[in-house]
Amino acid sequence: MIGVVDYNMGNLGSVLNAFAKVGARAELVRDPDRLRDYDRIQLPGVGAFPDAMEHLRSTGMDAAIREFAASGRPLMGTCLGMQLLFERSEEFGVTQGLGLIPGKVVPFDTERFSSPLKVPHMGWNELFVKRRDPIFDGLPEAFYLYFVHSYHAECDDAFVIGTTLYGYEFPSAVRRDNVYGFQPHPEKSHDNGLRIVENFTKL
């Protein structure tokens, strides 16, 4: 059974539908004490980093997520959920994250863009596989996924398994042991996204 963390910050219906489409059982979980009952968990999210961390801390879900990650069972964060995996974010000031992956979340640096681009980065873009991983089984070396974000991760290359170009190259897929993160929305990315969702259920 897959637990989808409900912290009032996600497009939860789409996430549950994606798991159902690949034949997986998933349900929302709001009680941090129940996280340990699941085989794997997904941390989705749409919204602001500080609000998300405040909700996770106020409910005790932050500690429960860290405990789950320490158990070695698969955990995947998507979009804001990926960003929360890092040590801190610069969105609306500096906010401490879950600290499961070393690194930080920063705004797009538009001064690095060689041509004018809109922020947020919104729409279909390619993810380039930097390191083969079971999460990419059945997918080519580059494929399209759907993105909506104004901030992105900065971390050591050792944790980067996929990158995307938008003005410059940034990490769009990361992994540290059993913890995965995707900046795009697999649940909104048709066949390619569903393949990632299905692969996550098989890790």
79 is catalytic: yes
Catalytically annotated residue among 121, 149, 155, 187: 187
66: left (phi > 0), else alpha (psi -120 to 50), else beta? alpha
Strand partners, 20: none
187 is catalytic: yes
Contacts of 3 (CB under 8 A, 6+ apart): 26, 27, 28, 29, 34, 35, 37, 38, 40, 41, 42
155 is catalytic: no
Q: Which residue has 């729409």 as its token pair?
A: 123
Catalytically annotated residue among 169, 185, 190, 198: 185
Torsion of Cα atoms, 29 then 30 then 32 then 37, to 10°? -20
Catalytically annotated residue among 79, 91, 152, 155: 79
Determine the residue type at 122. Answer: M
C-alpha separations of 99 from 13, 34, 36, 71 in Å? 27, 21, 19, 15
Which two tokens mark 82?
């990926």
Residues taking part in catalysis = 79, 185, 187
